[in-house]
Amino acid sequence: MPSLPDFKLETYFSRWEFSARYHLTASDAQTMAVSELLELADEDGRRRWDTLTLGYTETRGLPALREEIARTYDVVAPEDVLCFAGAEEAIYLAMHALLEPGDHAVVLTPNYQAAETIPLSICAVTGVPLVAESNWSVDLDAVERALRPNTRLVSVNFPNNPTGAVPDLVTWQRLVELCEERGITLFSDEVYRGLELEQPSLPQATDLSPTALSLNVMSKAYGLPGLRIGWIGCRDRALLDKLERAKHYTSICNSAPSEILALIGLRARDQLLERNRAIVRTNLPLFEEFFGRYPELFDFARPQGGCVCYPRYLGADGVEAMCASLVEEAGILLLPSSIYSSELTETPTDRFRVGLGRRGPEEALEQWAAWLDKRTGWSDK
């Protein structure tokens, strides 16, 4: 098997995520203690937790959990759901199940690195960039031009990480239809779905097409990354069978405690999602006010969905130097655009990722402002 390149984001986080004083680039919504989550449990969930035995679990996932996951879709049945140890395992195994040498894939950029590096380790891949000048819109004509007779996969992520982009409904439906018309599998990463503030969530890909795959996880919109529970919804049951057999070589099955806690969380999903949307809603004006104080340094636009966004840095020192100095001198962690560079397309070199889903960013923003004022002499006072 070809070796994969260094995972830039995880390597960067290994250095700084738990040592930086302020984590302003978190990709997940605010998490909670196990005790808080258990307070949301219904009678059945609490009974399952209290009587849980720590044996092996079913490879496809706890039946009750798959039933609850299926309820998050419109037409998906529990038999159309396969659980994984987080989203990364699902991405890795799906790419290997769907692609072979000699195939071709199309991947939208910027993206989560595994979305392109794993396909690239298997077959030819063409990148199609989101259009930054029009709020990171999808260029459907460019996607169609990228397709080849041997294209087997189109990979997308909406709400997008790192940009927070969400296509309009017409564009989204046409993209799904384009893939289905060409006999191409649409792999749709939907891990931020549910954190849209000003528009409804898009229909999930697998609800729109029997050939599409929808990826989700407890980590991002639900704010429970420590559970390491993800899933794929797919109405192609032969493909799910293939994925199950592949999972036998990786995690085999999921953590029994995590499955019960994920079940409790999903049964309380309306509360969790509203809680996390409220955090983003509270934080947005704080970040808008902060960036508005420094118009010569930053260009900030609200994300259309999710809890991450991708502002521009206009300073003469460049975004890489700014992010490095900021974490080393002030302990404030951001992700510079080099983390989202692509082998497939040109990507912006003046952006950085900000996370909006964690409570209490005020102190970090105050420290960032003090650092900027000290370095640049800029002040609105």
One-letter amino acid at 125 equals V
The alpha carbons of the chain give a radius of gyration, in whole angstroms, of 21
CATH class of the 52-267 domain in this structure = alpha beta
pLDDT (tens digit per residue) in 319-355: 999 999 999 999 999 999 999 999 999 999 999 999 9
Burial class, 251, CB count within 10 angstroms (exposed 0-12 / middle 13-18 / buried 19+): middle
Domains 8-33+270-372 and 52-267 share a fold: no
Question: E strands along the chain, which residues?
Answer: 22-23, 81-84, 104-109, 124-129, 151-157, 185-189, 213-217, 230-234, 298-299, 308-309, 312-313, 332-333, 335-336, 352-355
For residue 378, the model assigns a pLDDT of 52
For residue 377, the model assigns a pLDDT of 67
**Total-model pTM:** 0.95
Domain boundaries, given as residue ranges, for the chain = 8-33+270-372, 52-267
Question: E strands along 96-166, which residues?
Answer: 104-109, 124-129, 151-157
CA–CA gap between residue 275 and residue 164 (Å, rounded): 19
Rounded-to-10 torsion of CA 73, 74, 80, 84: -10
Q: Nearest-5° angle of CA 217, CA 222, CA 224?
A: 75
For residue 379, the model assigns a pLDDT of 47
| CATH (residue range 8-33+270-372) | 3.90.1150.10
pLDDT (tens digit per residue) in 2-43: 589 899 989 988 888 899 999 999 999 999 999 999 999 999
**Residue of 237, 352, 369 whose CA lies nearest to 290:** 369
Structure tokens at 218: 């407890």
Structure tokens at 292: 């508005």
